Amino acid sequence: MTTINKLQQALNSAKGLQADLKTFSMDTEDQQAKQMFNQLSTNLDTTIQMLQGRVDFVNSEEPQYLQQSLGMQQQQKNQQQAQQQNKNNQNKLR
């Protein structure tokens, strides 16, 4: 796995975690837990921005990675959408 793939994977994992934390926040009625999930989600913004900056830098320095990175981004986006749809379906069944 190339460096750009690892960076992109880390970025997508961070975005997925952030989405999960936001979902947890919406799913709980415990105000303390809700606040904790929101704070964790907010803290991840900095990490996501830093990772995105590194991905952008690597893409600008190594143009051959750009096309590969775009393909991986689309694949990760599709996986995240499928995961979110599964969560939505599970919530509807409850």
Total count of domains within the chain? 1
Task: Tell me the per-residue pLDDT of 53-88, one tens digit each, with 9 for 90 and over.
Answer: 999 998 888 776 656 656 666 777 777 777 777 777
Contacts of 48 (CB under 8 A, 6+ apart): 11, 14, 15, 18
Answer whether residue 94 shows pLDDT above 90: no
User: Is 0.85 topped by the overall pTM?
Assistant: no
How many other β-carbons are positioned within 10 Å of the β-carbon of residue 1?
Answer: 7
Question: The domain containing residue 38 runs over which residues?
Answer: 3-92
Question: What's the mean pLDDT when you consider all of the chain?
Answer: 85
Residue 10: band (very low, low, confident or very high) from pLDDT cuts 50, 70, 90: very high
**41 or 67, greater pLDDT:** 41
Backbone angles phi, psi at 2, to 5 degrees: -80, 165
**Contact predicate 85/21, CB 8 Å:** no
